[in-house]
Amino acid sequence: QSALTQPASVSGSPGQSITISCTGTSSDVGGYNYVSWYQQHPGKAPKLMIYDVSDRPSGVSNRFSGSKSGNTASLTISGLQAEDEADYYCSSYTSSSTRVFGGGTKLTVL
C-alpha cells in the first residue's frame, strides 16, 4: 500500500493554469477509473473536488478538471484564484479493495 506520488508543491499566478500529477501503478490508478481529488485548507476537513477521474460534484467550480493517462492522473486548475491556495490530495481505489492517497501537493498562488 505505497502512497501515490504527487509533487510536493506547485505554484502559479492568478489567472494562470496549473496541473498536479498523481502517479500510481496498474494496481491502482492505472487499473480503475476511480481516482478522486480533495482540497484541504489549513485546519479544515478535506473537500471532494473531482471523482471518477474527471467528474465534478455539484457546487465545484468548472475551473477544476481531471484526467488520466496510464498510471498517472492529473488535476488541472484554470484561472487560478487566491482561494485555490490549499493542499491537494489524489486518491485511488486499489486491487486489494482498499484505498490509497497521494502524499499531497501544496498549491501556492503567487
Partner 1 sequence: EVQVVESGGGLVQPGGSLRLSCAASGFTFSSYAMSWVRQAPGKGLEWVSSVTNTGGGTYYADSVKGRCTISRDNSKNTLYLQMNSLRVEDTAVYYCAKFGSGSYLDYWGQGTLVTVSS
Positions in the binding site for partner 1 (CB under 8 A): 1, 3, 32, 34, 36, 38, 40, 45-48, 51-52, 57, 87, 89, 91, 93, 96-104
Q: Which three cell numbers stand for residue 90?
A: 489524489
* CB 65, min distance to partner 1, A: 16
Between 63 and 101, whose beta carbon lies closer to partner 1?
A: 101
Between 71 and 105, whose beta carbon lies closer to partner 1?
A: 105
* CB 51, min distance to partner 1, A: 4
- 4: nearest Cα among 26, 23, 28: 23
* CB 103, min distance to partner 1, A: 5
